[in-house]
Amino acid sequence: MPDRSPSTTKGAFHCPHCGVYAKQRWMEVGGCYLHGDELPQTSSVLAGKVYKAMTTNPGETPNPLQQQKHSKPTMHWRGPQTPKVKRRNTTSGELPMKLSGNVWAVSSVFLSECTYEDCRKISVWLDERLLFPEKSTVSAPNPDLSDELKADYLEAASIVSQSPRGAAALLRLCIQKLCNELTEKKDTIDKNIQRLVDEHGLDIEVQTSLDAIRVIGNESVHPGELNMQDNHDTAVVLFDLVNFIAQQMLTAKRKRKEFQDNLPASVRAKIERRNAKQPI
């Protein structure tokens, strides 16, 4: 299976934001000196200027960027090309390279934009290293999960480094939703997991693992609630369990069906006749 992880050597990879395999548009970053003693115009500063102008002149919606006295930073698209990473002098810490006048090209900083229509988010790179978003240490969600569950999974992955308890709470909720979908019954996780083990062939070790990390059992934590005892290791186990349940209950079932569908019609008919004769 080809390596599709994010990298400055590729024109397409699994987006660090949405997880979708998509082409990337690469940008080189440049900029210039601010005017005089002017400070960086962060989003909060610009928002304050807009609010002040709107309250002073009702009905007008100003663009504070048009009032800047310095040239705005520039970004150059590289199209389908990948960035030409140059090793910087790590001893001196030198990073920018002067082009002309007060314009500088930040030779080791690159941006990649995901071309997936529902994402379009930008990632920031320093040399070959991904700076933003923080690279996730968890696996991608099982592709057979529903869109809603994938969204929950990816949201948990995006916060697991900063808030493992928040990620664990989201994943417990994700497991509850997954069990509801698989059993087609809105019930407690305990009862639905038991149904999956008894009626659908889910590995009993999954039930034991869920009990151990307080998803089911007498000391279970309610889905969506924070548990002060959760940590990063707990969250990683929950990520793996979501994918394992999906692998057993969804992916394996889909692959069995694909295998049967690819059999010759005569063979499928023979199997169906044989199964019809077996007692229920």
Neighbours of 143 (CB within 10 A): 11
Mean pLDDT, residues 133-160 taken together: 86
Tell me which range, 46-55, 97-106, 115-124, 252-261, is most confidently predicted by mean pLDDT. 115-124
User: Could you tell me where the DSSP H helices lie in 131-278?
Assistant: 147-159, 164-183, 189-199, 204-212, 232-246, 252-261, 265-277
pLDDT tens-digit map of 198-213: 988 888 888 888 877 7
Q: DSSP secondary-structure letter at 67?
A: G
Checking if the pLDDT of 40 tops 70, the result is: yes
pLDDT of residue 92: 43
- HSE-up of residue 243 (Cα within 13 Å, Cβ side): 15
Helix, coil or strand: residue 22: strand
pLDDT of residue 139: 82
Checking if the pLDDT of 79 tops 70, the result is: no
Neighbours of 164 (CB within 10 A): 19
